[in-house]
Amino acid sequence: MTEQKTSYQMPELPYELSALEPVISAEIMDLHYNKHHKAYVTNLNAALEKYHEAESKKDASAMIALQAAIKFNGGGHINHSIFWTILCPKKEAMTGPQGSLAKAIEKDFGSFEQFKEKLSAAATGIQGSGWAWLGYNKPLKRLEIATCANQDPLSTLNLVPLLGIDVWEHAYYLQYKNVRADYVKAIWQIFNWKNIEERFTKAGH
């Protein structure tokens, strides 16, 4: 029973590794999905196994020591599981959101263009590794742009994740080298707005 609860699995990619070209190359996708994401899942399961062992021995210090590994690898798994679904092949992508999400973006950011500018600036400006997010603040019923360091999930800021841009170097460096801004600009061509809108609806706005 415990094993089922803690044995996290890789999500299936909703498209081929080459499907996001030319924006994201098949080589990057292969490394990003099959190596990096897989490592987060493997390490999360290993850390949770050790955690449950420590818990059964009532070893609080060992449980506390393992929390950093659980947060990092668990966050990596959560973030990437969202990331793959909010992207889609260029030919299937819409230029922007429709309906209630489009209205909410206009209300909270002034216009879609202003929102795009703010999220892009947040992603480009992250020092080191991390993520830039569009999140939904349930208590305040509004959209917010936020950044998270490393693999911290957006839930640590009490926001529901709708759209995230991964700016770890493994997400773009093979293709865009050190010009992160070019990658951030290009990724807008492959956002799956249908999926992002569904997340907005589920957030219970």
Q: Which pLDDT tens digit goes with each residue over 51-64?
A: 999 999 999 999 99
99 HSE (CA, 13 A, CB side): 10
> For 108-158, how does the pLDDT look when each residue is reduced to its tens digit (9 = 90+)?
999 999 999 999 999 999 999 999 999 999 999 999 999 999 999 999 999
Q: How far apart are CA 21 and CA 19, in angstroms?
A: 6
Separation of first and last alpha carbons in the chain: 35
Burial environment of residue 72 by CB neighbours within 10 A (0 to 12, 13 to 18, 19 or more): middle
Quick check: 1 pLDDT over 70? no
Distance CA 39, CA 21 (A): 24
Compute the CA torsion angle 40, 42, 43, 46 (nearest 10 deg).
150
Give CA 123 to chain center in angstroms.
Answer: 12
Confidence tier at 4 by pLDDT (50, 70, 90):
very low
Per-residue tokens: 118? 């703010």
* Strand partners of residue 130: 149
Measure the CA–CA gap between 192 and 101, rounded to whole angstroms. Answer: 13
The phi-psi region of residue 191 (left if phi > 0; otherwise alpha if psi is between -120 and 50; otherwise beta) is beta
Please choose, from the candidates 169, 12, 24, the residue with its C-alpha nearest in 3D space to the C-alpha of residue 93. Answer: 24
Which has the closest alpha carbon to 39: 131, 155, 170? 170
Mean pLDDT value of segment 99-114: 97
What's the pTM value of the predicted model, to 2 decimals? 0.94
CA nearest to 190, candidates 86, 106, 105, 113: 86
Closest CA to 118 of 147, 86, 94: 147
Overall average pLDDT of the 33-52 stretch: 98
Rounded CA-CA distance 29/105 in Å is: 29
